[in-house]
Chains A and B, each alone.
Chain A
């Protein structure tokens, strides 16, 4: 229960209840004030008319008639009647339904109790608004009204207001409790999941009910966040394992060579050769690190600020010129079809490296006699294609080759760090370019989709 009181929604409901109650109170006070005034004016008007009527009687017919009239009017028993007092010069009561009263002139509010009105104790203790005046013969006439009916109405209204207020308050609080509990249950779901995840149950997810309310949307979003975090975490774990694995091999080789040369003992030239080999090994390890750093730097996205229009046609021509001879020396052919005047906004160095990596991959991973094609097309979409008729990549592995350090089994023996396509993927992501690996039937076809022409 204490927890319930602390929930945001309950506090909100309580605040709402307080506001409702305050509104009721203000409404009540304003109504009371307005109706009180109206009542007062109405009573005075009634008293004035009655008094004038009695004075007319006195003027026209004399004191005796007035006395008779007063006796008649005083004897009306009922809730809604005037109060009268008529006394002579010496202060003796002659007629009326009030026993005693001090004489006065004009309006006055007088307490009305059983002492003054022996005849009307039913009405209880209250006040009357009265008008009194001495008549020409020195007698004193008073007409009063205690507004009993109006007060009773007022009281009924008060009671109604009070009940309505209490009911509204109770309803608001009940609603608050119900909403809060619902809310609490949802929060409990999220809390329980967070705790489970903190305990290491990373696969735990917040249950989502298809109510599609805000809490549900929040849960769905949190789940998505957890999914992507977990994916990143797993990637990170995998990458660090891969780094450890990929560096252990050359390190072990390095150690072996050095140890061997110490054990065997060599000539100066022999040692120099061993040291030279060791430096080569270390260089290849450093190259791996530098490639990793470069990928990390590209993925951080800071280079986006330096994007400039890049003449892709010139880049493709340069790559064709650079790699045609390399391919020829390995007994492969590199053919090119390059559309002219193609410009794309990006980072020239990175785009060059991305395309170079694809061409180099094609050269490295095809047998002698293969044909490689580099195409830059400017159709509906701007695309660069590097296709070969080599062994290709099995469909199941086409996505995974973009992962860092991922290498096909048959490529394990060729030199390389398994980072070439990871860099391609990082550069593509930075530029919002899509890179697809397709079946070239036979061979591999890497399609770099720069996007629709209108987007350039």
Chain B
């Protein structure tokens, strides 16, 4: 896995690259939009991490240019601009995800993993499964070891998101955005409450816990004895 970081702030770039190295990713760095675009065009990277505000050519234009030129590796935007318009503009330009600085590195890794392993064109599956857990999307039914589990709509959506993430970590923010459509940080424990209810229904009566909480990071599906 090789990544290109286009980021004009040396500290941030070093911080990201150091973290990536610890997690087994290779990375290269460009500190302006022009060099970044040239490097990105060489097509030897698995993903691009691009700051919105760059000297030379700004991040948005870099991605627009890449996007117009044809297929390109997945793009994650980094920005200090905490605005929804910015996010929408970033995604419209061809970005795959958008992360606002400052961010927790765990959040960055989880999102990076999500865009890296996004299947090119996922065939619409009607059944999602993990271990002995089975989700039938057409009838909206969930079974564990053949036993029907009744879920509330939100719980169903959370579980679907976890199943689609294929064992990867999903963060609280990712859940809020994808399941709730909330682009703000709620002041109450919305995610935790629903998560614990879901876990109660899915895991309580079984010896194997499927839904795991990674403290300070998020949640994932993992078969634990």
Chain A residues with a Cβ under 8 A of chain B: 276, 283, 286-287, 290, 293-294, 297, 302-303, 306, 318, 321-323, 325-326, 329, 347, 349-350, 352-353, 356-357, 360, 363-364, 415-416, 420
Contacts and interface: CB of A to CB of B under 8 A. Distances in A.
B25 interface: no
Interface string B103-119: 01000000000000000
Given A276-B216, A352-B181, A416 B187 contact: yes
A338 to B, nearest CB: 15
A16 B70 CA distance: 73
Nearest to B216: A276
Interface centre among B84, B85, B153, B197 (most CB of A within 10 A): B84
A287 B100 CA distance: 12
B149 interface: no
Contacts of A325: 152, 154, 193-194, 197
Interface string B173-188: 0000000111111111
Nearest to B153: A321
Contact of A353 (B82, B154, B184): B184
Interface residues of B, number: 26
A303 B197 CA distance: 36
B193 A293 contact: no
24 contacts: A276-B216, A283-B104, A290-B82, A290-B100, A294-B82, A294-B83, A294-B184, A297-B83, A306-B85, A306-B88, A318-B180, A321-B153, A323-B190, A325-B154, A325-B197, A326-B190, A326-B193, A329-B189, A349-B184, A352-B181, A353-B183, A356-B184, A356-B186, A363-B188
Contact of B154 (A321, A349, A416): A321
The 10 A-B pairs with the shortest beta carbon distances in the complex, nearest first, are A353-B184, A326-B193, A325-B193, A360-B187, A360-B188, A349-B183, A326-B188, A293-B82, A290-B82, A329-B193
Contacts of B189: 326, 329
A435 B160 CA distance: 37
Interface of B: 82-85, 88, 100, 102, 104, 152-154, 180-190, 193-194, 197, 216
A306 B84 CA distance: 10
A420 B181 contact: no
Contacts of B85: 302-303, 306
Nearest to B185: A287
B84 A349 contact: yes
A322 B82 contact: no
Interface centre among A302, A349, A357 (most CB of B within 10 A): A349
Contacts of B187: 357, 360, 364, 415-416, 420
A303 B84 contact: yes
Interface of B is mostly: loop
Nearest to B183: A349
Nearest to B86: A297
A183 to B, nearest CB: 49
Nearest to A324: B152
A326 B194 CA distance: 8
Contacts of B193: 325-326, 329
B101 to A, nearest CB: 10
B79 to A, nearest CB: 12
Contacts of A323: 188, 190
Nearest to A300: B83
Given A294-B82, A360-B188, 16 more contacts: A276-B216, A283-B104, A293-B82, A294-B184, A297-B82, A303-B84, A306-B85, A321-B153, A322-B154, A325-B194, A326-B188, A326-B189, A347-B84, A349-B184, A352-B181, A357-B187
Contacts of B184: 294, 349, 353, 356
A352 B182 contact: yes
Contacts of A356: 182, 184, 186
Nearest to A348: B181
Contacts of A322: 154, 180, 190, 194
Contacts of B197: 325
A391 to B, nearest CB: 18
Contacts of A349: 84, 183-184
Contacts of B82: 290, 293-294, 297
Nearest to B196: A329
